[in-house]
A and B are shown apart, each in its own frame.
Chain A
Amino acid sequence: MSLVKMIPTYLYTRYERFWHWLQMLLIALLLITGLEVHGLYTFIGFQSAVRIHNIAGITWLVAFTFFVFWIFTTGEWKQYIPTTRKMLDVILYYAYGIFKGQPHPVPKRKDAKHNPLQRLTYLSLAAFLLPLQMASGFLYWQYNSWSAWGLDFLSLEWVAVIHTVLAFAILQFLIIHVYMTTTGHTVTAHLKAMITGWESVEEGVEIESWERAKARLKTEG
């Protein structure tokens, strides 16, 4: 196998990195306080946990609307279009190739940041899971306004159950996501990229047109 030259590439803009770490901070706060409100442990006390949970939740909701605005105005949403192409290759890579030291079948590029597996995961997160979690959290928070809003048919227990199930899903994502950051060409490569914006990607790898978010934008435009 010949040596591949690694080219430093600017993958994540300042806003993307800010959004990522802000979201990480908020999710961490929400999980820690949320599990306390759920009665798992006593850490900062129920009252403080509720207060911080509410503030963090509302902050997330507001920040998320900015993210939605950003993703549509920049066309970055196209990075999230799901595809089955090379999906099997990616799955096989993580199940087998990674142990053999084989190259990733869908390397990162500025205009193709996500592999098919990531696309599917992030789309389900950003389009369904997180909005649903925010919606259920918002309803939970506004329990006392339900009758004024004509939402009396809702049951707090069901809203709480949905909120808890989604919290478990997010926690599970977090565990796998953090682990996956170690699978770059070095253990900390992905982490560094999300801090500095720069990641070394292999030189000369051809990006197929379907992978390109920007390319599509152009042809459509």
Chain B
Amino acid sequence: MQPRQLIRGALKTLLTAGFFILGILSTGHAAETADTDEAPGRVMARQAIREKEHWNTTDHAMHPALQQNFTSGAEITAACLSCHNEAENQFHRSIHWTWKADDSPEGAEHGKAGLSVNNFCISANRMKDKGCLSCHPGWNGVEDGINCLACHGRKKINFKEAFEDYAYFMETGDEESLQMATDIQKDIHEAVVTIGNPERENCGTCHFYGGGGDGVKHGDLDSAMAKPLKTLDVHMGIDGQNFTCVRCHTTRLHKIAGRVYTAPAASDRKSLIEDDLTTKITCESCHTATPHKTVSKANDHTDRVACQSCHIPYFARVNPTKMSWDWSKAGDRKDGKAYTIKGPLGKETYMSIKGEMVWEKNVKPEYFWYNGSIRSITAKDVIDPILTIAVSQPEGSRDDRNARIYPFKVHHGNQPYDKINKTLLAPLLSGPNGYFTLMDWKKSLTLGMEAIGLPYSGQFDFVKTTYVFPTTHMVAPKENVVSCMECHQREDSRLVNLAGFYMPGRDRVKAVDIIGWLVIMASIVGVSLHGLGRIFTNGKRKEG
């Protein structure tokens, strides 16, 4: 073999081997990067929740303060406060207790205990409607002080009954009764020491049932969220991360993050990377502002489109939610009695005491520009009854750099207003003289307006209203997000109502399209005629 041939052969072998090794290395590298090839926002959020086990330095069952017989709720609270001596002060300042928004705009009194109205049960009549107080976190509404167990108790018993029974058996005093009393006290004691951070059920007791029933108010909060599957809520799913509410609704001094009515839930868009003490109330807290893979166009949307807009395709996906409530139809009687009609979704579509209602399931949200604040009117504000009154509406516009496109449930109402004073009216609903009992508008409106201390002319009619809820729970798994096309399309775009900007796929300048297609058609006709002309004149070039 010639030396040149030898060298050439060796080179060939080397090159082949080199490519072979390179090949192996690159596949190995690919395998290594495969599992890190994930959206950075998910990796980030996983790290933020790595420490799942909550650990404690105290066992409440061992505390001497709790080794006593409790005969009233107030005694339980006193026992709690004997150690947690700042808790009551803190809680008394929270909106959960006051039901008043301390950040109300000048001259307005927002909050259930203020002059706020909605288009469900309309008003809590400055806490004078006792029916509403079943959700107030105190013993017997507001009378007997705060009830720590409403939020921190993990074992639910009927305390009212338990205390009554205990008192009865103790008074009876025979051996059997005393045994019963001991058993009841054991139950009470167990409920008192079985405590911790609020669970989904604690918050849900009120927040799943707002407006007087399951799923009435929020389209994204109902009893299905107590034990949701991942398909309903990807964070709270018991088959997944199993988040409790307070996982995101972080708390300082008993003030819980996430209230969005008079002011945004978070004033700046910071992630835990930028500020490790920031609240976890926004998606971006854990997922950052650019959570998708680097090349994803979705990252380019996060400045103007809220995460919720794409990641919550529909709300009320398990249980139906109330979409409209027409109070003007209330008061009908059958054989002199109030009656109820149930609709196909198993919910009341008519109730004499409430009126006509529409329920829906799997509802597509409506989208608005939203800067985190909701503007609401109160029972004091003058309205124009010819219009549909926005009792609450999202604040923000495209020109507001803090506003993003955000999904909402819009609840439609038809509710009483004062024809002379031109204000919304706050009827008293529960109690012996309330509308639910007597079905008498005159009486319930007079009593209700008396309760909130505002004038009532005595003349009323009904006015159409809307009320909005930001949709933020029921985040779907990524496979079920809203597709690009559901917004970027000419017909039926989800954002059909949002104007003032050009959106590819949805928008066009019609004249440009018409002229464009005319030119194209003229060209096709032109070349066709030219071609036909050549065929008919047989204008073949005379050549060899």
Contacts and interface: CB of A to CB of B under 8 A. Distances in A.
A46 B541 contact: no
A101 B520 contact: no
Task: Give me the 3 closest cross-chain CB pairs, A-B, nearest first.
Answer: A168-B516, A179-B527, A157-B502
Interface in A140-162: 143-144, 155-157, 160-161
Given A47-B485, A144-B300, A156-B501, A164 B541 contact: no
Contacts of B303: 144
Contact of B530 (A38, A42, A160, A179): A179
Given A157-B507, A176-B523, A100 B537 contact: yes
A215 B540 CA distance: 32
Interface of B: 297, 300, 303, 483-485, 488-490, 501-502, 504-509, 512-513, 516-517, 519-520, 523-524, 526-527, 530-531, 533-534, 537-544
A202 B543 contact: yes
23 contacts: A1-B542, A3-B544, A4-B543, A6-B543, A37-B504, A38-B504, A39-B490, A45-B483, A46-B483, A46-B484, A46-B489, A99-B539, A101-B538, A101-B540, A160-B504, A161-B509, A164-B509, A164-B512, A172-B523, A175-B527, A179-B527, A179-B530, A183-B534
B543 A175 contact: no
A5 interface: yes
Contacts of A176: 523, 526-527
A156 B506 CA distance: 13
Contacts, number: 100
Contacts of B485: 42, 45-47
B23 to A, nearest CB: 26
A52 to B, nearest CB: 13
Interface of A: 1, 3-6, 37-39, 42, 45-47, 50, 94, 98-103, 143-144, 155-157, 160-161, 164-165, 168, 171-172, 175-176, 179, 182-183, 185, 202
B504 A164 contact: no
Contact of A155 (B502, B517, B534, B544): B502
Contacts of B504: 37-39, 50, 160
A109 to B, nearest CB: 17
A3 B541 CA distance: 10
A85 to B, nearest CB: 23
Given A47-B485, A168-B519, 19 more contacts: A5-B544, A37-B505, A38-B505, A39-B504, A46-B488, A46-B505, A47-B483, A103-B541, A144-B300, A155-B502, A161-B509, A164-B513, A164-B516, A168-B516, A172-B519, A175-B523, A176-B527, A179-B530, A185-B543
Contacts of A42: 485, 489
A174 B544 CA distance: 31
B102 to A, nearest CB: 37
A100 B526 CA distance: 19
A180 to B, nearest CB: 8
A157 B534 CA distance: 43
B531 A179 contact: yes
A42 B539 CA distance: 42
A185 B541 contact: yes
A99 B507 CA distance: 45
Nearest to B540: A101
Nearest to B544: A3
B483 A6 contact: no
B252 to A, nearest CB: 35
Contacts of B509: 157, 161, 164
Nearest to A100: B539
Contacts of A98: 534, 539
B516 A165 contact: yes
A108 to B, nearest CB: 14
A12 to B, nearest CB: 21
Contacts of B537: 99-100
Given A101-B540, A156-B502, A176-B523, A38 B488 contact: no
A98 B506 CA distance: 45
A182 to B, nearest CB: 7
Nearest to B488: A46
Nearest to B509: A161
A6 B505 contact: no
B487 to A, nearest CB: 9
Nearest to B518: A168
B520 A172 contact: yes
B490 A175 contact: no
B224 to A, nearest CB: 30
Contacts of A46: 483-485, 488-489, 505
Given A3-B543, A175-B523, A202-B543, A161 B512 contact: yes
The CB with the most chain B CB atoms within 10 A, among A143, A164, A168, is that of A168
Contact of B542 (A101, A164, A175): A101
B300 A165 contact: no
A179 B534 CA distance: 12
Nearest to B489: A39
A80 to B, nearest CB: 23
A44 to B, nearest CB: 10
A156 B485 CA distance: 19
Given A3-B543, A50-B297, A39 B534 contact: no
A144 B488 CA distance: 17
B539 A101 contact: yes
A20 B488 CA distance: 33
Contact of B531 (A143, A144, A182): A182
A56 to B, nearest CB: 16
A165 B518 CA distance: 12
Contacts of B483: 45-47
Contacts of A175: 520, 523-524, 527
Contacts of A45: 483-485
Nearest to A162: B512
B502 A160 contact: yes
A98 B534 CA distance: 7
B483 to A, nearest CB: 7
A3 B505 CA distance: 57
B543 A99 contact: no
A38 B489 CA distance: 9
A133 to B, nearest CB: 14
Contacts of B542: 1, 3, 101
B305 to A, nearest CB: 12
B249 to A, nearest CB: 32
Nearest to A38: B508
A215 B534 CA distance: 35
A101 to B, nearest CB: 5
A175 to B, nearest CB: 5
Contact of A39 (B297, B505, B540): B505
A202 to B, nearest CB: 7
A6 B544 contact: yes
A104 to B, nearest CB: 8
